[in-house]
Amino acid sequence: MLYRHKPEEGRNARQTAFWLGEGMIFFACYSLSGTLESWKSLRAPLFGDTPIQIPLLGIELTGAFVAATIAFFAMSFFFLRYLAAEKIADHLIEVESEMNKVTWPSFEEATNSSIIVIITVLILMGFLALSDFVLSQVFELILWGGINGT
């Protein structure tokens, strides 16, 4: 379904968008489950008085878990349909083609640029600290007629 429109183009961008979206949906449903657990009626076991645990996961089958699971599958279905739309698929194809045109720096270039940025930040930090100290002493002299400690 994800590759219905132009199936051989933009695969990386589509998969990246899909998995990032699924991660966000999962987090939202996990948070929803925690919120619904605060409701007494949804915290109770679904069948009988003893809680049923899902094997291997160790999760109790409660109303909150079932509601969050249904929400997850519904949101995933609609998100997949959204990504499969021609307009969105074309946009993701264009994004991938533009990313392929980018000239990425080598590791050495990135390292050298990072070192230059760090050195520049340290120099500016020293200049601002020195300026702050000098100006505070000048204003101390102007306002109070003397420097602290004298």
This model's pTM is above 0.75: no
What is residue 146's three-state secondary structure? Answer: coil
CB 120 within 8 A of CB 35: no
Segment among 5-14, 61-70, 111-120 with least mean pLDDT = 5-14
pLDDT band at 59 (very low <50, low <70, confident <90, very high): confident
Domains in the chain: boundaries: 1-102, 105-150
64 has a pLDDT exceeding 90: no
What would you report as the CA-atom Rg of the chain, rounded to the nearest whole angstrom?
Answer: 29
DSSP string, 44-62: SBSSSSSPPEETTTTEE-B
In whole angstroms, what is the distance from residue 116 CA to residue 104 CA? 18
113 has a pLDDT exceeding 80: yes
Torsion, CA 104, CA 105, CA 106, CA 107, rounded to 10 = -110
DSSP string, 102-113: --PPPHHHHHHH
In whole angstroms, what is the distance from residue 65 CA to residue 20 CA? 22
pLDDT in tens, 10-51: 888 989 999 999 999 999 999 998 898 887 777 666 666 777
Spell out the residues 6+ positions from residue 41 whose beta carbon is closer than 8 angstroms to its own.
63
